[in-house]
Amino acid sequence: EVQLLESGGGLVQPGGSLRLSCAASGFTFRNYAMIWVRQAPVKGLEWVSCILEGGHTTYYADSVRGRFTVSRDNSKNLLYLEMNSLRAEDTAIYHCATYQQRLPFDNWGQGTLVTVSS
Amino acid sequence: EIVLTQSPATLSLSPGERATLSCRASQNVNDYLAWYQQKPGQAPRLLIYNASNRATGIPARFSGSGSGTEFTLTISSLEPEDFAVYYCQQRGHWPLTFGGGTKVEIK
């Protein structure tokens, strides 16, 4: 059974930093691109970032580019999102998910809540 | 960035009725379009990929159509468990983007 478990969320002050982790199991992690998607309270889905299988190619939403960094450790089946210079508008539940452009291997974690507030 | 516009924002229907949801892209995305269902407190679930292919385990009452800039998700006969929020997502261009969602609510 595929499982994705996010951790690392919490309350942080504006301007602060946080690192999210996503532990993957039940599939061959190194063979799949991974994405982060967030959802602000009572709002829609917003794609944040993507990292391809090898970890050398990354993509970011304009809203986080230059502040967030996605990375992965294929030896440990872990995905990360390093978040710096956090703003109130970054407050959201952050989900990690598998990603395939043309195929339906699509699995999501339940998410971890990040709250940016003083 | 490709903007996806979903309509209507809310659809009020009764069980057994047909639901038709629209997603319009600001640029051509060919058939790189997916549909998701999300229920309160749950992660999104993939329904349709490549505009018209049902994901594993998705009932046949869900169907997707369209290409280019105009897409439709149809639920042929609403079941009680289908009342939820639906999002389209384009996968043809970076950055990936989602539509704003359509809430299908019980009338």
Mean pLDDT for B70-76 is 98
Q: Which residues of chain B does A101 touch, with a Cβ-Cβ cutoff of 8 Å? A: 32, 91
A77: left (phi over 0), alpha (psi -120 to 50) or beta: left
CA of A103 to nearest chain B CA: how many angstroms apart?
A: 7
Q: Which of A39-43, A85-89, B77-81, B102-106 has the lowest mean pLDDT?
A: A39-43
pLDDT value, residue A42: 87
Q: For the segment B27-72, what is each residue's pLDDT rounded down to a tens digit?
A: 999 999 999 999 999 999 999 999 999 999 999 999 999 999 999 9
Mean pLDDT for B7-30 is 97
pLDDT value, residue B87: 98
Beta pairing partners, B53: B49
CA of B90 to nearest chain A CA: how many angstroms apart?
A: 9
Q: Do A44 and B101 touch (CB under 8 A)?
A: yes
pLDDT value, residue A104: 86
pLDDT value, residue B9: 97
Q: Supply B9's token pair.
A: 């924002």
Q: What are the residue ranges in chain A where pLDDT is below 70?
A: none
Instruction: Give the closest residue to B47 by CA, choosing from B19, B8, B17.
Output: B19
Mean pLDDT for B74-96 is 96
Contact at 8 Å (CB) between B16 and B104?
Answer: no
